[in-house]
């Protein structure tokens, strides 16, 4: 009986040990297979380095708005369809987008792209490190650009737009030229220097004509009148104005003691001439 019991225990132990070994081997194989699957299907080239210190959004809870997305340490998207991407990026308006470390977009459809870029009003957009779009529907593009006037635009690093409905390409003391500007066509188009020079040339031409005309009128006014008791007088006059000098020639005739006539012409350089005539009766 003792021999039978020993044989039974020996057989049971061997069978149990064999079954356990088989189970452990099977489990090991399953884990190996799972490890292989995880290794081959995981996302690559996406990582967040928090320095070993768990921060806000560690538990994927930074997106509290409906359909919002928050990626990065301390990233926060608190309103519907907001997107915050980057360390401490904050999207705090409906449809707001903040991309870049410490970027802030607060306002419906506000957009802030760049390190510490800030967009603080509805439909405002700031692009560039430390760019600020503060007013409603403003646009600031460039490092440190600031647009605060409603619907204003600041273009370029350090540009400042403080007045509503304006476009700035610089700031006080740091102005810029706008080059390659086509000639304006419509009443509200900008003009270029070529057009301004053309206008200036036209103004100068008008001024020269006017100065010459004044000089000729002065010369005609200097023509002498026929003296009392005389019948006819020929004379010459000279006039000058605005750098132009004119010469006039004319005559005066007494028809009767009561009737007199006068006429003359003047010129500056022969290209422009002026003529006048007059008739008088006295009693």
Q: What pLDDT does residue 12 have?
A: 41
Rounded to the nearest integer, the mean pLDDT of the chain is 88
Q: What pLDDT does residue 282 have?
A: 87
Residue 142, helix vs strand vs coil:
coil
* 8 Å CB contact between 100 and 112: yes
Tell me which DSSP letter residue 131 carries.
-
Per the model's pLDDT, the better-predicted residue between 9 and 179 turns out to be 179
Q: What does the pLDDT look like over 97-114, one tens digit per residue?
A: 999 999 999 999 999 999
Q: What does the pLDDT look like over 29-60, one tens digit per residue?
A: 665 665 565 556 667 777 889 899 999 999 99
Walk me through the domains of the chain, giving residue ranges and CATH numbers.
69-168 (2.150.10.10), 214-281 (3.30.1300.30)
Tell me which DSSP letter residue 174 carries.
B
Q: In what order do the strands lie in the sheet with 146-147?
A: 76-77, 90-91, 104-105, 118-119, 132-133, 146-147, 160-161
pLDDT band at residue 7, thresholds of 50, 70 and 90? very low
Q: What does the pLDDT look like over 226-237, one tens digit per residue?
A: 888 889 999 999
Residue with token string 């006295």 = 282
Facing residues of 248 across strands? 237, 266
Q: What pLDDT does residue 29 have?
A: 66
* 8 Å CB contact between 247 and 238: yes
Per the model's pLDDT, the better-predicted residue between 36 and 181 turns out to be 181
Q: What pLDDT does residue 16 have?
A: 52
Q: What pLDDT does residue 119 have?
A: 98
The H or E element that residue 124 is part of is none
For the cut 60, the answer to whether the pLDDT of residue 3 exceeds it is no
Residue 122, helix vs strand vs coil:
coil
For the cut 60, the answer to whether the pLDDT of residue 92 exceeds it is yes
Q: What pLDDT does residue 61 have?
A: 95
How far apart are the C-alpha atoms of 37 and 25, rounded to whole Å?
18
Residue 45 backbone class (left: φ over 0; alpha: ψ -120 to 50; beta: rest): left
How far apart are the C-alpha atoms of 181 and 194, rounded to whole Å?
10
Segment 60-70 mean pLDDT: 96
Q: How far is CA 153 from CA 137, 159, 236, in A?
A: 9, 9, 65
User: N- to C-terminal Cα distance for the chain?
Assistant: 179
């Amino acid at each position: 009986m003792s021999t039978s019991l020993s044989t039974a225990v020996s057989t049971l132990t061997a069978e149990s040990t064999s079954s356990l070994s088989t189970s452990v081997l099977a489990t090991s194989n399953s884990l190996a297979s799972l490890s292989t699957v995880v290794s081959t299907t995981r996302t690559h080239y996406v990582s967040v380095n928090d320095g070993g210190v768990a921060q806000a959004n560690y538990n994927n809870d930074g997106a509290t708005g409906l359909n919002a997305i928050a990626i990065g340490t301390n990233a926060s998207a608190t309103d519907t369809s907001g997107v915050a991407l980057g360390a401490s990026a904050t999207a705090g308006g409906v449809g707001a987008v903040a991309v870049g470390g410490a970027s802030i977009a607060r306002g419906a459809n506000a957009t802030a792209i760049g390190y510490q870029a800030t967009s603080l009003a509805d439909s405002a957009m700031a692009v560039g490190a430390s760019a600020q779009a503060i007013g409603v529907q403003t646009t600031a593009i460039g490092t440190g650009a600031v647009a605060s006037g409603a619907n204003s635009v600041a273009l370029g690093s350090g540009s400042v737009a403080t007045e509503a409905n304006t476009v700035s390409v610089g700031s006080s003391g740091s102005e810029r030229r706008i080059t390659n500007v086509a000639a304006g066509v419509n009443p509200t188009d900008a003009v270029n220097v070529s057009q301004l020079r053309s206008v200036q040339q036209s103004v100068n031409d008008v001024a020269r004509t006017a100065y010459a005309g004044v000089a000729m009128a002065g010369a005609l006014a200097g023509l002498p009148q026929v003296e009392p008791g005389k019948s006819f007088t020929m004379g010459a006059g000279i006039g000058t104005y605005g750098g132009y000098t004119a010469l006039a020639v004319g005559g005066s005739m007494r028809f009767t003691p009561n009737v007199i006539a006068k006429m003359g012409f003047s010129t500056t350089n022969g290209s422009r001439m002026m003529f006048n005539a007059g008739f008088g009766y006295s009693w």
